[in-house]
Structure 1
Amino acid sequence: MPLQLKLSAITLDCPDPMALAAFYQQATGLPLHPKSNADFAGLDCEDDVFIGFQRVDGYRAPQWPEQTVPQQLHMCFKVKQPLDQVEARLLELGAGRPEHQPHGDKARVLTDPVGHPFCIVKERG
C-alpha cells in the first residue's frame, strides 16, 4: 500500500526572505503568512500548501540551465492570461529571463529576483 503523503510546504533558500516573499506575493496574489519575519517568510496557498523563504547567509543563486550552482528546485505556475502578458508583468516585478528557453511557445522559464528558475505555463481550457 502506498504512503498517503500530501505536500504541505515548499521552502526556498534566499538572502532576504521578506523581499522574495514580496516578489512572489505580487506575482501570485497569495497572502503573506502572519508570522513572516526577516529570517523566514511565507505565503499561504490553496489546499493548505505553504511557500516558505528562509534566510541563508552566503546564499549563491542557482545557475540555470548550467549546474555550477544547482537549481535545487523548479516551480511551475499555470496562468490563464497570454504568456507574453504574464512574462512582461513578472519582468516588471524583478524576474529575469534566461536565454535558454527549451519549451517553445508552451511555457516560459524565468528566474525570481534571487535566481531560482520557475516556469509559467498556459492553463488549458
Structure 2
Amino acid sequence: MTSDSPTLRIGSVSVDCPDPGTLADFYAELFGMTRIVESPDGSVVAISDGTHTLAMMKVDDYVAPTWPESGQGQQMHFDVSVPDLDAAEARALAVGARLADHQPAPDLWRVFLDPAGHPFCLTTFGA
C-alpha cells in the first residue's frame, strides 16, 4: 500500500436473519455489546462493543443454514477465541445458543448454532 492509499477497515459485519432484534440481543449478550442503531421498522439492528460492529438485517424469505449438510450454506460464520472452552460453552448455551450435532474437533473448536441457525465456533485457537 502506498502512502497516498486510503486506510480501509471493516466498518461492520452484516448478518441476514428473520428477526434482527432477537439475533441482536443474542449476540449483544454473548459478546458484551450494546445496541447502537435500530431502523424505525426494525429491519436493521446494529450492536457494538466500541470496536466491532454487527448489523442484523431482516430477510423476509430467510432460510436457516443446513450446515454441515448440503443445501443452504452457512451465510456467515464467527470463530470466537476464548481461553476456556467449557466456560465459554456454558455462557453461549445460557444466552440461547444450541450445540451443533456435528463437532469435527471439539477439543479445539466447539460448534454452536445461533437463534437464526447460523453456525459459529468457540475455540482456544488464538486466545
**Which of 20, 34, 47 is residue 43 of structure 1 equivalent to?**
47
Scaled by the length of structure 2, the TM-score of the pair is: 0.84
* Per-residue Cα deviation, 1:6-38 (whole angstroms, up to 9, x for no partner): 2221101111101100000110111211x2241
Asked whether the equivalents of residues 45 and 51 of structure 1 are also in contact (C-alpha less than 8 Å), the reply is no
SS in 2 for 1:77: strand
Q: What code does the residue aligned with 1:99 have?
A: D
SS in 2 for 1:99: coil
Asked whether the equivalents of residues 32 and 49 of structure 2 are also in contact (C-alpha less than 8 Å), the reply is no
**Which of 21, 35, 47 is residue 32 of structure 1 equivalent to?**
35
| Distance change >3 Å, CA 46–CA 121, structure 1 → 2 | farther
Q: What code does the residue aligned with 1:52 have?
A: A
Residue in 2 that maps onto 1:73: 76
| Distance change >3 Å, CA 69–CA 86, structure 1 → 2 | same
* Per-residue Cα deviation, 1:34-60 (whole angstroms, up to 9, x for no partner): x2241100111453x321100110211
Q: For structure 1, which runs of at least 5 residues remain unmatched after alignment?
A: none
Asked whether the equivalents of residues 42 and 51 of structure 1 are also in contact (C-alpha less than 8 Å), the reply is yes
Aligned-residue RMSD, C-alpha: 2.0
Q: Residues of 2 paired with 1:105 and 1:118: CA distance? A: 15
Scaled by the length of structure 1, the TM-score of the pair is: 0.85
Residue in 2 that maps onto 1:55: 58
Q: For structure 2, which runs of at least 5 residues remain unmatched after alignment?
A: none
Q: Residues of 2 paired with 1:67 and 1:10: CA distance? A: 24
**Percent identity over paired residues:** 37
| Distance change >3 Å, CA 103–CA 31, structure 1 → 2 | same
Asked whether the equivalents of residues 85 and 122 of structure 2 are also in contact (C-alpha less than 8 Å), the reply is yes
Is 1:120 equivalent to 2:122 in the alignment?
A: yes
| Distance change >3 Å, CA 46–CA 120, structure 1 → 2 | farther
Point out the structure with max Rg over C-alpha: 2
Q: What code does the residue aligned with 2:23 have?
A: L
| Paired residues, number | 122
